[in-house]
């Protein structure tokens, strides 16, 4: 039998040295990060003129480190904005009953609008705000990346709010928490695990649209920003396979580095928010997180910001407690619903009228019929993607999420596969299609799946990892057959997460169609029949009326599918399969 030696005074110097080493590492990391931010941000505010702006970047390999740092800065800037948007938007949709009826359809529409649709509208706004500096194009690029990250995060946090266990709501009432306190001490911790996993997926979605956000082709103008996405685009147009492979290698190093230094520590840290009576047999670990926990720098920083948190707690108390009414007057509720519905209906009717007038003058209302026909083709590709993606990735996601030991090794691999921008491989895939003679109408399904299927996998992993360990142990102790265990424990537990993943995968597939239905290698361009190609071509040519038609039709398809299918599945997850 091994003997446990108690802690003695002789161990104090060793612990002190450990803390000192951790402090030095953390301070050195902070210094390097600050220096990189200063160095990279120097090129953001350079002089700019739309008429003389570069349409491409240099493919000199010596520029790759700087380009990679610029792209990484844009990605994290967009992630910060996405998290803030998620907290505000998802909370309003989940807590305000009437607002939910408007915010969720708007979110459906926003998710369905492709990146190029946002760029064609917002680029002129950013250039007007910052007319003589590249900051305007930088903001447009960050905003484009934001539109590829925010919607998945918002849906995930909204799902965690509406499926929140009833006991937590009762505890908030008993403790008389303010709305601010409830948000930070209940809502955010309860949704932290799906937020982290979907944050990784959203970050991967941003990588996917990096080329479109760094090489902006709108209104017959092309603006290229220094970045690894624009580098790949330039290498592809010049048919430099060697430099393309070099950029792909740098991209893999970036993805692994971000996973080790950021996502892996965040995943291990989020385990503290798991609510269950028994602990998992093996919790995720992170060397970076271990160093941060041994360092006294985070504790010192916490002491500095603690007075701010106390002041906010006291300052938000006059705004009321987080006690949502259990019973309301039905007459007042119906009257308010009628007024609210009338106001919303009038606003929507006015917007539709103005849009139809503009389209009629620009390209004719007959363009809608052509766009709807093209949308059916893209819709077929989306359905095939979601069905086959679910059949493949749900079992794999459950296997990874329910096995911490497997997750330790599989999560970095999945993160690399999901975060790697598949459209970096599009020129190579285009070359393969040219050599084999396979039509892009078929190959487009593969290209769309490379950017969208990961939403299903990541959400299922998050849902499986959130299954209480007590429930897992009970199913094992009862010796349930495998099929019965899947039917009664696993599938009901991950159903809500799968709905979120399938919904965002479908939306991501629609969005990915704009870059998957038009691909090129050198001077050869392949175009598939579909709504994505319609929007991409009209945006590049500057035909805003056709772009508006394509975006509107895509929104109708996405919102219609959400209303008819996904929302009903959401309600089923809330009422039957939530852990309440």
In 3-state terms the chain splits into helix, strand, coil percentages (rounded to 5) of 80, 5, 20
CB-side neighbour CA atoms (13 Å) of 486: 6
Q: How far apart are CA 87 and CA 90, in angstroms?
A: 6
The CA–CA distances, whole Å, from 530 to 373, 439, 548 equal 8, 13, 16
**Looking at residues 429-439, what average pLDDT do you find?**
79
State yes or no: pLDDT of 580 exceeds 70.
no
pLDDT digits (tens, 9 = 90+) for 373-408: 998 999 998 888 888 888 988 898 888 888 777 777
The CA–CA distances, whole Å, from 74 to 70, 135, 212, 215 equal 6, 12, 13, 14
Q: How far apart are CA 270 and CA 192, in angstroms?
A: 6
**Looking at residues 360-381, what average pLDDT do you find?**
86
Mean pLDDT of all residues in the chain? 78
At residue 12, the pLDDT reads 53
At residue 4, the pLDDT reads 46
State yes or no: pLDDT of 303 exceeds 60.
yes
Determine how many CB atoms are found less than 10 A away from the CB of residue 411.
23
State yes or no: pLDDT of 578 exceeds 70.
no
Are 531 and 375 within 8 A, CB to CB? yes
Q: CB-based burial of residue 172 (10 Å sphere; 0-12 exposed, 13-18 middle, 19+ buried)?
A: buried
Are 139 and 50 within 8 A, CB to CB? no
Check residues 246 and 479 and name the one with the higher pLDDT.
Answer: 246
Sign of the torsion formed by the C-alpha atoms of 382, 383, 388 and 393:
positive
**Selection from 6-20, 362-376, 436-450 with the highest mean pLDDT:** 362-376
At residue 83, the pLDDT reads 93
Dihedral, CA of residue 559, residue 563, residue 569 and residue 570, to nearest 10:
80
State phi, psi for 243 to the nearest 5 degrees: -70, -30
**Looking at residues 33-37, what average pLDDT do you find?**
83
Residues with Cβ within 8 Å of residue 567, at least 6 apart in sequence? 104
State yes or no: pLDDT of 307 exceeds 90.
no
Of 188, 149, 164, give the one whose Cα is nearest residue 455: 149
At residue 415, the pLDDT reads 65
At residue 489, the pLDDT reads 80
The CA–CA distances, whole Å, from 47 to 41, 132, 375, 567 equal 14, 6, 41, 48
Q: Residue 403 is encoded by which pair of tokens?
A: 């096995």
Strands 221-224 and 518-521: unpaired
Class of domain 20-575: mainly alpha
At residue 488, the pLDDT reads 78
Q: Cα 430 from chain centroid? A: 27
**Looking at residues 507-521, what average pLDDT do you find?**
78
pLDDT digits (tens, 9 = 90+) for 280-291: 555 667 788 888
Check residues 577 and 301 and name the one with the higher pLDDT.
Answer: 301
Q: How far apart are CA 553 and CA 558, in angstroms?
A: 9
Of 411, 480, 463, 468, give the one whose Cα is nearest residue 280: 468
Strands 221-224 and 215-218: antiparallel
Of 498, 525, 502, 518, give the one whose Cα is nearest residue 401: 498
**Looking at residues 294-318, what average pLDDT do you find?**
77
| Element of type H or E holding 106 | helix 97-112
Are 442 and 177 within 8 A, CB to CB? no
Check residues 555 and 98 and name the one with the higher pLDDT.
Answer: 555
Residues with Cβ within 8 Å of residue 479, at least 6 apart in sequence? none
State yes or no: pLDDT of 2 exceeds 50.
no
Check residues 152 and 146 and name the one with the higher pLDDT.
Answer: 146
For the chain, the domains span: 20-575
State yes or no: pLDDT of 425 exceeds 90.
no
At residue 212, the pLDDT reads 72
| Element of type H or E holding 519 | strand 518-521
At residue 511, the pLDDT reads 76
Q: How far apart are CA 363 and CA 366, in angstroms?
A: 8
State yes or no: pLDDT of 9 exceeds 60.
no
At residue 170, the pLDDT reads 76
State yes or no: pLDDT of 277 exceeds 60.
no
Residues with Cβ within 8 Å of residue 426, at least 6 apart in sequence? 236, 447, 515, 516, 519
Q: How far apart are CA 537 and CA 544, in angstroms?
A: 11
Distance in Å from the first CA to the final CA of the chain: 44
State the residue for tokens 């299918």: 565
At residue 133, the pLDDT reads 79
| DSSP bridge pairs for 527 | 518
pLDDT digits (tens, 9 = 90+) for 110-143: 776 777 667 767 777 887 788 777 888 888 888 8
Q: Residue 511 is encoded by which pair of tokens?
A: 């969005």
**Looking at residues 178-200, what average pLDDT do you find?**
84
CB-side neighbour CA atoms (13 Å) of 573: 25
State percent of the chain over pLDDT 90.
3
**Selection from 268-272, 412-416, 424-428 with the highest mean pLDDT:** 268-272
Q: Give 325's DSSP letter.
A: -
State yes or no: pLDDT of 321 exceeds 70.
no
State yes or no: pLDDT of 86 exceeds 90.
yes
Q: How far apart are CA 167 and CA 165, in angstroms?
A: 5
State yes or no: pLDDT of 229 exceeds 80.
yes
């Amino acid at each position: 039998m091994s003997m446990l030696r108690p802690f003695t005074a002789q161990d104090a110097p060793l612990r002190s040295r450990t803390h000192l080493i951790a402090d030095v590492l953390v301070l050195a990391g902070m210094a390097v990060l600050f220096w990189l931010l200063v160095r990279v941000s120097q090129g953001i505010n350079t002089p700019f003129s739309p008429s003389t702006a570069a349409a491409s970047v240099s493919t000199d390999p010596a520029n790759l480190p700087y380009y990679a740092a610029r792209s990484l800065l844009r990605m994290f800037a967009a992630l910060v904005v996405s998290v803030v948007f998620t907290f505000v938007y998802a909370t309003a949709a989940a807590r305000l009953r009437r607002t939910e009826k408007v915010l969720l359809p708007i979110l459906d529409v926003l998710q369905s609008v492709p990146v190029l649709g946002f760029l064609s509208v917002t680029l002129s706004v950013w250039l007007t705000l910052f007319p003589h500096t590249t900051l305007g194009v930088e903001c447009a690029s960050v905003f484009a990346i934001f539109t590829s990250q925010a919607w998945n995060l918002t849906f995930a946090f909204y799902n965690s709010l509406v499926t929140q266990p009833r006991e937590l709501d009762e505890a908030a009432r008993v403790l008389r928490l303010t709305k601010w306190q409830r948000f930070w001490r209940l809502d955010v911790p309860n949704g932290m695990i799906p937020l982290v996993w979907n944050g990784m997926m959203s970050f991967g979605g941003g990588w996917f649209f990096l080329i479109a956000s760094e090489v902006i082709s709108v209104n017959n103008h092309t603006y290229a920003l220094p970045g690894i996405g624009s580098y790949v685009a330039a290498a592809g147009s010049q048919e430099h396979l060697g430099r393309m492979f070099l950029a792909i290698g740098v991209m893999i190093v970036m993805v692994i580095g971000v996973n080790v230094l950021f996502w892996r520590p965040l995943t291990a840290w989020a385990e503290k928010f798991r609510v269950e009576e028994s602990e998992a047999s093996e919790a995720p670990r992170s060397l970076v997180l271990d160093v941060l926990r041994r360092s006294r720098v985070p504790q010192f920083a916490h002491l500095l910001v603690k007075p701010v948190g106390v002041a906010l707690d006291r300052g938000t108390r006059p705004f009321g407690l987080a006690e949502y009414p259990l019973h309301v007057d039905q007459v007042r509720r119906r009257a308010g619903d009628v007024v609210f519905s009338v106001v919303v209906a009038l606003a929507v009717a006015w917007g539709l009228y103005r849009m139809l007038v503009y389209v009629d003058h620009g390209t004719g209302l007959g363009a809608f019929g052509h766009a709807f026909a093209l949308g059916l083709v893209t819709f077929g590709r989306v359905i095939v993607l979601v069905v086959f993606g679910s059949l493949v990735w749900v079992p794999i996601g459950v296997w990874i999420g329910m096995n911490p030991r497997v997750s330790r090794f599989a999560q970095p691999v999945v993160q690399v596969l999901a975060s790697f921008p598949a459209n970096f491989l599009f020129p190579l895939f285009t070359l393969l299609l040219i050599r084999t003679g396979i039509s892009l109408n078929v190959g487009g399904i593969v290209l769309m799946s490379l950017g969208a299927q990961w939403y299903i996998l990541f959400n299922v992993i998050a849902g499986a990892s959130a299954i209480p360990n007590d429930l897992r142990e009970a199913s094992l102790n009862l010796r349930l057959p495998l099929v019965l265990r899947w039917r009664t424990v696993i599938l009901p537990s991950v159903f809500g997460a799968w709905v979120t993943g399938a919904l965002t995968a479908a939306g991501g597939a629609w969005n990915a169609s704009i870059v998957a239905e038009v691909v090129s290698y050198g001077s050869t361009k392949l175009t598939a029949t579909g709504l994505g190609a319609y929007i991409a071509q009209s945006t590049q040519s500057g035909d805003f009326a056709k772009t508006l038609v394509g975006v509107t039709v895509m929104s109708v398809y996405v919102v219609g599918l959400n209303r008819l299918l996904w929302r009903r599945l959401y309600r089923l997850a809330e009422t039957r399969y939530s852990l309440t």
